[in-house]
Amino acid sequence: MARRQIIEALDDILQDLTDCDNPFGGKVVVFGGDYRQIAPVVVGGKKEDTIDASFASSLLSRNVNKLSLRENMRAKDDPMFTEFFMRVGNGTETHVLDDRIEIPNNMILPFVESHKSLCDLIDFFFHVWISS
């Protein structure tokens, strides 16, 4: 997601352009993203700085209707992968040590040496992409 300051600036601009004090100038604005995946980048910042920069920390976030998608269309042909990542994203995956989880072996590509491992990674992803 974009930093909250950017979204708040968009709100200010739309209010100015429409001469309307409603959020986003009364216009319907659609955002897409996953708070669990894309945190705003705060160079040299601490965890609380990243949280503060997130749209979730903005007063505007209280005025939006949040919809959650329940099905991962890109991974629908691999239910084990989908279920694992949903558990990780929802915070329900079993922890093996402190706050660490274990990644299933079938999701790990072994590191052999830089060039071969990079080629294996590219072959794996492009094979999956091309075959689907």
Q: What is the model's pTM? A: 0.57
Give percent helix, percent strand, percent coil of the chain, each to the nearest 5. Answer: 55, 5, 45
- The pair of structure tokens assigned to 118 is 């990079």
Q: Check if the beta carbon of residue 93 is closer than 8 Å to that of residue 38.
A: no
Q: Check if the beta carbon of residue 37 is closer than 8 Å to that of residue 86.
A: no
More confident residue, 118 or 77: 118
Q: What is the pLDDT of residues 8-35, one digit of tens each?
A: 999 999 999 999 999 999 999 988 777 6
Quickly count: other Cβ atoms within 10 Å of residue 11's Cβ. 20
